[in-house]
Structures are given as structure tokens and as C-alpha cells.
Structure 1
Amino acid sequence: MFAVAAVAGLALGPVRIPAGDVLRILAGDTGAGPFTTIVRDVRLPRVLLGAVVGAGLAVVGTVLQALVRNPVADPFLLGISSGASTGAVLVVVLGLGAGATSFALPAGAFVGSLGALVAVYAMARRGGTMTTGRLVLAGVAVQYILSALTSLVLVTAAEAEHLRAVLFWTLGGLGGARWDALLLPAVALAVGTAVLMALARPLDLLLVGEEGATVLGLDTGRFRAAVFVLASLVTGVLVAVSGAIGFVGLVVPHAARMAVGAGHRALLPVSALGGAAFLIFADLLARTVAAPAEVPVGVLTALAGGPCFLWLLRRSSRTEGITG
């Protein structure tokens, strides 16, 4: 599926390129004329960025669902992406970093995402328990607060380039993909996924419940805090280059569990590949469905993920009630 998505992302667009030519260009053949420039310099960085961001969001969503033992946990719904967007916007407006390759931008996004996650977790956890209802309400509250803060920053700054930046980090998109913007998110994804793969057994232990995991020797408090920081770091780096793209981390992990089960040693790589393919396809639609105009990819992922979220929320509320 990932290979199909990648070839489709390279072949389709305002200029359609035969799949055979795409494969020859990737193999190093420069005899495809202007197609070579389109594939290598325009579409390939965008497809690779979509793969990295989609894989990262899916992996983070998978881990968050295990950490909070909640099926609707997702970087976007929990306000982590919104926190990262706010942090990135503040960096831009305050002039602390120039461009997506500046370390100030992902650093600001990381601080914002970690702060949002800590706030949501603190509000949702009451009396040692956490329910879907409280988690969703806490995430919505944090998103509203962060949205208001971002609007305040925008009104205060009142510059056209800041407006474009706010729209980018609010709606999400891969239109700014460049080769020099790929290294940092790719490293964050590779290192983060490798660490989480090494922690697959502790993540599996959390599935039996906090008390059961403690009995089996896991220090759940320290483990959860450490993985929260790692998830926030990965999310912050990804949002810094793509904006806030929602529901990838909600939809893909559930589909992956249907395919390989709940064990994280198999679930994490399958979720990563599924997330990469999902976002590549979504971005392909974003740049072709209304061509020559381009739809923000976050809009399309929300249209796909929104019904899934409502279904999961309804299923959870049957057993615990929306207020918990």
C-alpha cells in the first residue's frame, strides 16, 4: 500500500507522468526530459515529507492510546498539535527563527506540544482514573484556549506574513516541502520510532491496566512521563514542518490493530507504514481535487477522521457516559 501511494503521489497531479517514467527517474534515468525535474525537485520531497509526517503522527497516536488507555487519544484531539502550532507561531511572530530548518521553530513547537499534553492529562485525570468524556472535554478546552492565544498573537502582530503562517499551522499542508526541510523530521521519526520499538513490552503492559502493569514491575508514572516527553518532541518537530494535521493518529492505529492485533512490536511499524500511505493519498487528493487550487490537507484528513472519531466516541460513551 505504501509503495502504491508513493508512486501515485509522484505520478499524478496537474502534469500526469506515466508510472514507468516515474520508476525510471527514481532509478537514475535522466532521459525523461522535464518529467525528471517535476519528480525529483517538486513531488519527491513532498511525498517523502508526507510519508514522514504521516508515519510520525500514526506512531504517536498509537502510543498515546496505550499511555492513556483510551481509543480516542490522538495528537490533534488532545491539543498536542494545537500546542505545537501555537509554539511555532510564537517563534515566527517574535522573530526567533528563520524558516523551517531553524531549530528555534521545532523547539517552540515542542514546548507548546508538551505544555498542552501536560495540561490535558492533568485536567482529564481525576481520582486516579481517566474516561473518554473527560479526555475529550479537556482536549477541546485546551484547543480553544490555544486558538484564542494564537488569534491574540495574530491581532497583535497584524502582519500579512504572520497571517499566512497562522493559516498554515492551523490547517496543515505539505506545499512547503523542500529537501533541506526533510532531515530533522526524518531523524525525529527514526529515533523516536526506534526508542518506542524498544519500549514495546512496557507499552503492552499498560494495556492490562495501571495496577496490573505495576504488579508486573513497571514504574507507570515515570514511564508515562518519559514517553509523553518523547511523543511531544516528535509531534513538535512534525508540526513545525507540516502544520497541525488531524486524525491521522486516530484512524490509522485502529486500522492497524485490526490487521496485526494490539502487540506494539508489530503494531508500531504497521501503523507507521499505514500513516505514511494515508497522508500521501490525502495530500494527492488535496492537490488534485480542486486543481489548480490546493486544499489544505488537514481539511481532508478531518473529513475522513471526523466520522471515525464520532463512532469511537459513541461506542465509548455507551459504557462510561460522556462526562465520566
Structure 2
Amino acid sequence: MITSQRSMERWIDKRYLSSTFIVILLIVLAISVVVSVSIGQVSIPYNQSFWILVEHITGLHTSHVIEDADGMFLDVIWQIRFPRVLLAMVTGAGLALCGTIMQASVQNPLADPFILGISSGASLGATFSIMLGFGVGGILGELSVATWAFIGALSAALLVLSLASIGGKTSSVKLILAGTVINALCSAFSNFIIYFAKNAEGIRSISFWTMGSLASAEWETLPFVTAVVLAAGLFFLFQFRVLNTMLMGEETAVTLGINLNYYRRLYMIISSIITGILVSTCGIIGFVGLIVPHIVRSIVGSNHKRLVPVALLFGSLFMIWADVFARTIILNGELPLGIVTSLLGAPVFMYMLIKKSYGFGGN
């Protein structure tokens, strides 16, 4: 009786903690948006940024915006910084979501959105486009690099899933091994193209692209990326029971009547599509999908009913501040975002490993 009461108290405390944490994250996220659009080469007062965003989001006109500064500040915030902040939010949420799903699907705490060779496949597609000048004609001509990066990412993921399914049902070990093989293969082909192309400008472009950046953020690209991430987020919010079962292993899933092989393939295909779209838009941004789920697990636990929504918000928050750091740390310049996320994520991950607080699978 005492044990049951204590378990109930812990469950209530954990549920209360996750709800409180979500509210806190939403508040901090709103504040971070205002602060991030104010910071940059052109410094803008926070109150100005706030009222400019309020006016253009709600359509209401207020007397708080100073007229003589409104024109300059409006262009900087609405045309440059705000789309970039929104893309950072969507990218962070998407990578954190995919990392959470991948770790549950393959039952591996070291899994991330690029475990299926998506990053190397995207690099191969981008390298093919940049070094050989092979663009896509017609409407997609201006998006040749992004288009081929997405094709490469999705092709690599499909190859991994096909290899892992040969000889029987797909297992987490086979997925990881197949991902390692395809990753090495795509990297080899990319290096092969670079070596024989001997294009210095192209090599520089590929290097910058593979390090990740949000500099290409535009209003035209946001709706599609946002819609994909939101749809996937809503879908996985209602899949917490299956995700929790995945952490318990194959035998438990069979006992509960869940076709774990089907759900694993479905989740990994969806995650691959999301990751491919994000990579083709922003380049390769590592560590977000690996570190954010572990940080969130250490706070709200391994139950995906709480883990998924908090990971979405925390991923957005993490990416916003990583991007602020990337575009302000160098005077009149910008540090690639992938470098920043690795510099921030690696020490945190090492600390969590030392403290054994990653909380994967209830451990």
C-alpha cells in the first residue's frame, strides 16, 4: 500500500513537473524570439522589436513604435531576422523530434537523425550539384543544391532500410550497421567527386554547406518546412504508447500485440523525410538530435507522452540561441551553425555521460 502510494506521488510529481516545464519553455521561447531578433550587427531596442512583431503578426497598429526608426528596424527584423528565427525554431524542433524517435526506434541512446546515412547522402547530393553543376531544370532550377541534397538524403535512408530488411525482419542492430555502411559509401563518393573536380570555389561552398547555416532563411521556404515538422510533431504526440513499448524490447511488444517491425519502419521513414527536408534547407547541423532528447529525459523522464512535446520546445529554444551565438560571436561575420552546436553539445553530452543522467529507457 505504501509502495503504491509513493508510486502515485512520483507519477503526479513527474506529470506536474512536465506541465510546469512546458509552460516555462513557452514563456522563455517567446522572450527568446524577441531578444534574438534584437541582437546582431544592427542593435535594436527590445521594446521596438516586441511592438514591431506585435503589429505585423496581429495586424494591429500601436503607438509604441517610433516612426523615424520603424522603416530601418522593420526591414531588419521582418525581412531578415524573424524568418531566420522561425527557421531556427522549426529546425531545432524537427531535429530534436527525429532524434527522439530514432533513439526509441533503434533502442540506442547514441542514435540521432543522421543514423541512416542521411547526412552523408545529403552531402553526396549537394556535392554532385555544386561540383558538377548539375542543376534541376524548370521550376526547381534555383533550388538545385537543396533538391539534390534532399534526393541524396532520402535515397540513403531508403538504401539503409532496404539493406536492414534483407534476410528477415528489420532489427536495430541491422539498421545501425546498414547506416554505417551507407554513410561510408556516400562519403567515399563525395570525396571521389571532390578529388577529381578540382574546383576550389565549389569545395569552399560544399564545406560551408556541410557545416550548416540558417542564412538562407526566407519567407518563401518557411511554410513548407513548418507544415512538415508540425504535421510530424502532431502525429508523434499520439504515438507515445508505441514509442514507450519500443524501449521495452521486442518480446514485450509481441506480448502486447504490437507489430514493432511495422512501426519501426514507418517512424524511420517519416523521420528520414523530415531530416532530409531540414538538411536540404539548412545543411548538416549535428548534435541537436542527439543531445536535446537526453537533456529532456533527464528532466521529464522517458515517457514519450511528456518527452515529445518538451523535446520539440527545447529543440527550438536550443537552436535559437545557437544561431544567435553563431551570427554574433564573429564581428562582421558568421560562424557555421554546425560548429556552434557541436561546441555546445559535446561538453554537455560528456557531462551527462559522466553523471549517468541521460535516462534512456528508464535507466
Q: Which of 229, 236, 242 pairs up with 1:196?
A: 236
Equivalent residue letter for 2:323: D
% identical equivalent positions: 36
Q: How does 1:141-156 map to 2 (within 5 A)?
A: 142-156=182-196
Summarize deviations over 1:141-170 as a string: whole Å, max 9, x none: 654433332222234444466434422331
In 2, Cα distance between the equivalents of 1:153 and 1:306? 31
Residue of structure 2 aligned with 1:82, choices 120, 127, 141: 120
Residue 51 of structure 2 aligns to which amino acid in structure 1? Answer: R
Structure number with greater CO (CA < 8 Å, separation at least 6) is 1
- Specify which of 94, 98, 110 is matched with residue 56 of structure 1: 94
Task: Report if aligned partners of 1:171, 1:296 keep a CA contact under 8 Å in 2.
Answer: yes
Cα offset, 1:112, TM superposition: 3.7
Which residue pairs with 1:320 in the alignment? Answer: none
Counterpart secondary structure, 2:294:
helix
Q: Mapping of 1:21-100 within 5 angstroms? A: 21-28=48-55, 31=67, 32-76=70-114, 79-91=117-129, 93=132, 94-96=134-136, 97-100=140-143
Letter in 2 for 1:198: F
SS in 1 for 2:99: helix
Shift of 1:100: 4.1
Alpha-carbon deviation of 1:302? 1.0
1:118 aligns with 2:161: yes
Which residue of the partner structure matches residue 254 of structure 2? 214
Q: Kindly indicate whether residue 299 of structure 2 is the aligned counterpart of residue 256 of structure 1.
A: no
Quote the offset at 1:102 in angstroms.
Answer: 8.8
Cα deviation for residue 63 of structure 1 reads: 0.4
Cα distance in 2 for residues equivalent to 1:285 and 1:115: 35
Cα shift readout 1:188-242 (whole Å, capped 9, x = no counterpart)? 1012112222322111111111110111011111111111111100000000100
Name the structure 1 match of 2:267.
Answer: 227
Shift of 1:139: 5.6
The structure whose Rg is larger is: 2
Taking the TM superposition and a 5 Å limit, the aligned residue runs for 1:170-319 are 170-310=210-350
Cα distance in 2, alignment partners of residues 244 and 298 from structure 1: 7
Query: Could you tell me whether the CA contact under 8 Å between 1:89 and 1:169 is conserved in 2?
Result: no
Q: What is the number of residues matched between the two proteins?
A: 312
Report deviation, 1:25.
Answer: 0.4
Structure 1 CA distance for aligned equivalents of residues 299 and 143 of structure 2: 36
Comparing 254-263 and 292-301, the one that deviates more: 254-263
Corresponding residue of 1:7 = 34
Tell me how far apart the structure 1 counterparts of residues 215 and 123 of structure 2 sit (CA, whole Å): 17
Query: Quick one: structure 1 residues 18 and 253, their matched pair in 2 at CA, closer, same or farther if it must change by over 3 Å?
Result: same
Q: Are the counterparts in 2 of residues 80 and 116 from structure 1 also a CA contact under 8 Å?
A: no
Gaps of 5+ in 1: 317-324
The more displaced of 261-270 and 230-239 is: 261-270
Give the direction of change, closer, same or farther, for the CA distance of 1:297–1:65 in structure 2 (3 Å limit).
Answer: same
Partner of 1:108: 151
TM value normalised by structure 2: 0.76
SS of structure 2 residue aligned to 1:71? coil
Cα separation, partners in 2 of 1:312 and 1:294, compared to 1, 3 Å: same
Structure 2 CA distance for partners of 1:315 and 1:119, relative to 1, 3 Å? farther
Distance 2:281 2:275 in 1: 10
Q: Distance in 2 between matches of 1:309 and 1:174?
A: 24
User: Shift of residue 177 of structure 1?
Assistant: 1.1
> What SS does the aligned partner of 1:180 have?
coil
Q: Cα distance, 1:4 vs. partner?
A: 2.8
Query: Aligned partners of 2:146, 2:116: CA distance in 1, in Å?
Result: 24
Is the Cα contact below 8 Å between 1:184 and 1:237 reproduced in 2?
no
Counterpart amino acid of residue 172 in structure 1? G
- Give, in angstroms, the shift of residue 312 of structure 1: 6.5
